[in-house]
């Protein structure tokens, strides 16, 4: 999956896979682990993809995943669809450097889409902004965007409640609130605009944050 979505060579040899998955295992153990994992993977994939062995190595083909919808929406510049299609961290239970790198990249692209969407459509972006802050409550740009959203929607009660909660949260986590806090509305919108600038043209998965 990492090779399929991360821009790595589409076919991976047995030795490369064994080294990535079991770097400390001897050859016999790695081979046994590989055979077991290959069988389990084929069973787990069911109809979502096919694991095929070619002369160049193992290849995933016919992949059907929610991630494809997310990437297609990004490519088309459809931030609302991309924000909704993102279902969560990629391979979150896989502890491999390649998975972690791709997971971070995909999340960063979703985050940028949410900030762009919220800047343009406060009401439409609000649910996704809440998801973003549930993932990282200390995301300062997302916090400013949330405050700005409530201000633009005229929800003064939610704005005041969020401001108090954020001040308490940052003080508990960091021992202080961010500098120049609370931000004035104009500064909030400027910060969000800066945060999303330069991210309006989605490209390859690994080519943009």
Structural domain boundaries in the chain? 2-61, 66-207
* Other CB atoms within 10 A of residue 136 CB: 12
Measured CA to CA, the distance from residue 54 to residue 42 in angstroms comes to: 15
The DSSP letter of residue 19 is: H
Share of the chain above pLDDT 90, in %: 32
Q: What is the pTM of this model?
A: 0.67
pLDDT in tens, 109-118: 999 999 999 9
Angle at 80 between CA 142 and CA 107, to 5 degrees: 50
3-class DSSP state of 61: strand
Angle at 95 between CA 90 and CA 101, to 5 degrees: 55
Q: Is 12 left (phi over 0), alpha (psi -120 to 50) or beta?
A: beta
Query: What's the per-residue H, E or C state across 39-59?
Result: HHHHHHHCCCCEEEEECCEEE
Cβ–Cβ under 8 Å, residues 2 and 99: yes
State the pLDDT at residue 56.
77
| 9 has a pLDDT exceeding 60 | no
Between these two residues, 11 and 167, which has the higher pLDDT value?
167
| 198 has a pLDDT exceeding 50 | no
Task: Give 82: exposed, middle or buried? Use CB within 10 Å, 0-12, 13-18, 19+.
Answer: buried
């Amino acid at each position: 999956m990492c090779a399929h979505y991360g821009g790595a060579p589409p076919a991976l040899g047995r030795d490369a896979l064994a080294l990535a998955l079991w770097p400390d295992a001897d050859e016999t153990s790695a081979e046994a682990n590989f055979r077991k994992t290959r069988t389990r993977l084929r069973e787990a994939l069911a109809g979502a993809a096919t694991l095929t062995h070619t002369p160049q190595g193992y290849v995933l083909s016919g992949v059907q995943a929610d991630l494809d919808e997310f990437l297609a929406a990004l490519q088309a510049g459809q931030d609302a669809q991309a924000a909704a299609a993102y279902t969560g961290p990629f391979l979150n239970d896989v502890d491999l450097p390649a998975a972690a790198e791709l997971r971070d990249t995909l999340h960063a692209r979703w985050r940028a889409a949410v900030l762009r969407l919220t800047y343009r459509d406060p009401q439409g972006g609000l649910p996704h902004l809440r998801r973003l802050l549930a993932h990282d409550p200390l995301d300062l740009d997302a916090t400013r965007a949330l405050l700005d959203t409530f201000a633009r929607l005229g929800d003064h009660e939610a704005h005041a409640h969020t401001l108090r909660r954020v001040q308490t949260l940052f003080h508990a986590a960091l021992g202080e609130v961010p500098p120049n806090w609370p931000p004035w509305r104009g500064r909030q919108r400027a910060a969000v605009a800066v945060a999303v600038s330069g991210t309006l043209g989605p490209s390859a998965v690994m080519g943009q944050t």
